[in-house]
Structure 1
Amino acid sequence: MAHVEFFDDPGSFLDAAGSHLQQDPVLTTVVSSVSHQLLAADRRGETRGEHPRWWAVVREGDDVGGVAMRTAPFAPYWLYVLSMPETAARALARAVLDRGETVTAVNGALVASGHVADEISRATGGGVKIHEHMRLWEVTEVVAPELPAGLLRQARSEDVDLAVTWWNGFAVEAAEQAGSEPLQEGESMEADEMARRIDEGLIWVWEDQGHVVHLTAHNPPSFGVARVGPVYTPREARGRGYASAAVAAVSRRLLDEGVRACLFTDQANPTSNKIYEAIGYRPVEDMVNLVIR
């Protein structure tokens, strides 16, 4: 029988699940990176929000069968579920409902998320609808694209305001390109947080003739894996190869530093999928965003 243990503290969760997460750090990149980022925020003394914030380890016997988390600070406060056996996924769903929580969205690994959403919908009488089919990609050898005019550079303090605007506009415009609506409200990037990421060397821009025309970011490595994104080019600068060149260069830098590089795409967005495959990214696993109503 599967047993679910919940954690309110990212450090305790990482102590319990770290070895499991490290078995395949690309597949577990979101849980690992979010956990490490929130652990760092706690250590900086940042205030926790009022939203649900927990991690779960599902054990079958003494072994960790899977992990999940609910940490998004914005509606619909979705569950993020990694691969696990069906028995573990359904036990997780029942345990969440037993906590008295309302769940209207689940995302993560395709099969496991489906089992969790199905179990919740059975209990609540709702139906499950696919909102997005996502795909996780990894690159091990970058294929250099044709370079556009300009150059890649690390973002600087004078780029903060523009970077904040583009970061906050990314989700809406990405959904438009895929012909869908954003699933979530989205967490607004603030200037002080962007400045911190710039100081840490996590934000890159492409500059052409003195103008910043593109932004590519990545998260700090967790268990040796960095996730690239968001990748944003404003409408007026698209179609000139900036995204391909920037993502290729940033990915190559990560690989040269001994860090594995991965990213997510919406399968309904043919442009981004084509770009990343052309520079060497290869599919790892299909993911899904599910809505329960």
Structure 2
Amino acid sequence: MTPAPTLDFYTDPAEFLAAADGYLGAHPVLMSVVASVTGRAAEHGPLKTPYAWWVVARAEGEIVGVAMRTAPFEPYPLYVSPLPEAAAVELARALYERGEHPGGVNGSLPAARLVAEESARLWGGTVETAMATRLWELGDLVVPAAVPGKARLATYADVAICRAWFRDFGRAAREQSGNADSAHGEEHHDEADMRERIDEGRILLWEDAGEVVHLTAFSAPAFGVARIGPVYTPKARWGRGYASAAVAEVARRLLEAGVRVCLFTDQDNPVSNHVYAKLGFRPVVDMANHTLVR
């Protein structure tokens, strides 16, 4: 009989990184979200959330997956990596024993769905898929044909528009996920956060005829992988190729720095999926955001 998986909970991100470093480094694209969020928490201190923990799942002493609950917005969903079925079920049961209801479960399929379904069975209620997402990694970059305008890095003079467009992007994502009323995400991108991203050169703006028309940002590289996002063009500017050009420029700069590039898309958005496929991105794994409804 195969031994039951074990789960080790950590509240200190540095301790989690020390425990999971080898696993995260061996799967840098799949672990991009976990690695970047945890690295930022370890560097900058407590997260603005009522929940802050990480989990390492082991089977026969070997790490088989990780999970975390660090989201700064309601319903404070879990984020899970690929997990064996037994480990996914065990995670749901461990949270039930802790008296901690998971408001949602995001991450790789089928693990995220298994955690959500077992949680609904234990707590009562149903599972709704708020958004189906897909993780992509860039292969060979295909630069699009000439697009009007040019790219430049954001400066402190752009803080206001960067904050506004981060909020607009987040608001649109929450509306798509059925969580439009949550304001918790607004606090996460305050002026200090924008200035830090600008200092690190992680926000690129596209200008056309002297006007800023698009924003593409990216995460700080973790284990040699950077994740592009958010990618935002105001609706009045759609259809002019700004997003393709800006994402390609960000990707080019990252590749030249020796960094692998990944991003997420909404599976139900055929436009963005087509655009990124044309740029050379290839699917890695399907994911989903689940909400538990009681």
TM-score normalized with structure 2 length: 0.94
Per the TM alignment, residue 48 of structure 1 is displaced from its structure 2 partner at its CA by: 4.2
The letter of the residue matching 2:178 is E
Cα 1:16/1:183, change in 2 over 3 Å: farther
Deviations 1:142-201 (A, max 9, x none): 10101211100111111110010000010333566xx66347825111112101110110
TM alignment of 1:1-293, pairs within 5 A: 1-42=4-45, 47-49=46-48, 51-174=50-173, 181-182=178-179, 185=182, 186-188=184-186, 189-293=189-293
Matched length = 287
The letter of the residue matching 2:67 is A
Deviations 1:57-78 (A, max 9, x none): 1111211121100001111000
Per the TM alignment, residue 23 of structure 1 is displaced from its structure 2 partner at its CA by: 1.3
Q: Distance in 1 between matches of 2:249 and 2:257?
A: 12
Q: Is the 8 Å Cα contact of residues 52 and 70 (structure 1) preserved in structure 2?
A: yes
Secondary structure of 1:120's partner?
A: helix
Q: Distance in 2 between matches of 1:71 and 1:49?
A: 8
The letter of the residue matching 1:37 is R
Per the TM alignment, residue 140 of structure 1 is displaced from its structure 2 partner at its CA by: 2.2
Question: Which shows bigger deviation, 243-252 or 97-106?
Answer: 97-106
The letter of the residue matching 1:181 is G
Q: Is the 8 Å Cα contact of residues 75 and 184 (structure 1) preserved in structure 2?
A: no
Cα 1:184/1:268, change in 2 over 3 Å: farther
Secondary structure of 1:65's partner?
A: strand
Secondary structure of 2:206's partner?
A: strand
Secondary structure of 1:102's partner?
A: coil
The letter of the residue matching 1:41 is H
Secondary structure of 2:185's partner?
A: coil
Q: Is the 8 Å Cα contact of residues 47 and 70 (structure 2) preserved in structure 1?
A: no
Per the TM alignment, residue 19 of structure 1 is displaced from its structure 2 partner at its CA by: 0.6
Deviations 1:78-123 (A, max 9, x none): 0101001101111111111111111121010010111111111111
Q: Distance in 2 between matches of 1:76 and 1:163?
A: 25
Q: Distance in 1 between matches of 2:180 and 2:221?
A: 26
Superposed CA RMSD in Å reads: 1.5
Q: Is the 8 Å Cα contact of residues 49 and 70 (structure 2) preserved in structure 1?
A: no
Q: Distance in 2 between matches of 1:283 and 1:205?
A: 26
The letter of the residue matching 1:35 is T
Q: Is the 8 Å Cα contact of residues 51 and 74 (structure 1) preserved in structure 2?
A: no
Q: Distance in 2 between matches of 1:267 and 1:183?
A: 19
